[in-house]
Structure 1
Amino acid sequence: MNGQTLLIALTAAVLVFWSVGAYNRLVGLRNELLRCFAPVDEQFRARQALLQRWADAADGADPAVLESFRAACRQAEAACAHVRASPARAGTLTSLRLAEDILAGARERLPAGTDEALAAALGEADTTLAFARRQFNEAAHAYNRAVSQFPTWVLAGLFGFRKAGTL
């Protein structure tokens, strides 16, 4: 074996080992992203249950306002179910963000209830959901950085790793 053949074999081995390492890193980051969505989903469901109780307890609310609030809740639940099927897709996360914005607007129009314990539980649920979202977004940013780094983006394109959206 001459020097040139040895150099080519060594270069090929380095490229193969780098490729395997980069692929494993991308898979690990994507799995972390998917794992970080589970707490978001759990907190979202808990908050939705509290919002349902809040809507049920809203005495004297305008029926149209109450119905728009319930419709916004259903829309947010549908968007979350869509994200649950594919948490790494940017489009599904955008639909959840938009549904959450609509829900926030409908929530502002609903009169405050008299149940202080429920209001405190809702505040705590909002805080916990915000924390879970922040963790998900940090995982998404780490994944997106890895997908867009040179030369890893070449492998990402070959194996179908796409940038993830944020909440």
Structure 2
Amino acid sequence: MAALWPDLWDWLLRLALLAVLMGWMVGAYNRLVRLRTALVTAWGQIDELLTRRSAALEPMIEALREPMAAEANTVQALEAALLKQQEAARTVRARPSAAEALSAWVLAESELGSPLARVQALVEQHPEVAHTDPVRPLRKQLEELGPRIGYARQGFNEQADAYNEAIQAFPTRLLVGLFRFKPTARV
């Protein structure tokens, strides 16, 4: 009977260590899931603003086609860049933590900036177009959405940094491969 006690204590100690290890693994996994969920929420805020921007740009493009026929290439470039950005955003929507999709969206977003700025400058040069009913409220809406998108991107980047730091921190990084967590990109 005396020989049974050391075996029992050894077994209990191993069981306690296993319980602590399992508890840590569950806690670390749940933390990573919470951080990834916060990333999804942050992308949702960007996505909502992008949807609103698209809802303003699409009718503005249509309203500018006829009065700016001489600048058709610029308007078409804006339309093509918008379509590319919308497709990239749809890809991100499916997996907001996927670094490849986010990088493609950042590229598409930057490619949208130049034709959008050119069209806005052209509209400014043509007050007869800028002050028409279909264009004026859409321009105002676009002006309001620009800073809001920037602010939402900043919020996403903060969440991405927190997520990336968590998956790089020791000992959590030991679980990253096991649960297939991957670093994300900043936008």
1:71-127 CA-to-partner distances (Å, cap 9, x unmatched) read 011111111111111111000001111001110011122212514433221111111
Amino acid at match of 1:48: S
Q: Within 5 Å, which residues of 2 pair with 1:1-167?
A: 1-2=5-6, 4-58=10-64, 59-60=67-68, 61-110=70-119, 111-112=122-123, 114-115=130-131, 116-167=136-187
1 CA distance for matches of 2:37 and 2:46? 15
Query: RMSD over aligned Cα, in angstroms?
Result: 1.6
Displacement of 1:136 after TM fit? Answer: 1.4
Unaligned stretches of 5+ residues in structure 2: 125-129
**Percentage identity across aligned positions?**
35
- Given that residues 47 and 89 in structure 2 are in contact (C-alpha distance below 8 angstroms), is that contact kept between their aligned partners in structure 1? yes
Structure 2 length normalisation: TM-score? 0.82
1 CA distance for matches of 2:90 and 2:172? 31
2 CA distance for matches of 1:120 and 1:65? 20
Based on CA coordinates, which of the two structures has the bigger radius of gyration? Answer: 2
SS in 2 for 1:150: coil
Unaligned stretches of 5+ residues in structure 1: none
- How many residues of Structure 1 are paired with residues of Structure 2 in the alignment? 167
- Given that residues 57 and 138 in structure 2 are in contact (C-alpha distance below 8 angstroms), is that contact kept between their aligned partners in structure 1? no
1:104-154 CA-to-partner distances (Å, cap 9, x unmatched) read 011122212514433221111111111221111111111111111111011
SS in 1 for 2:182: coil
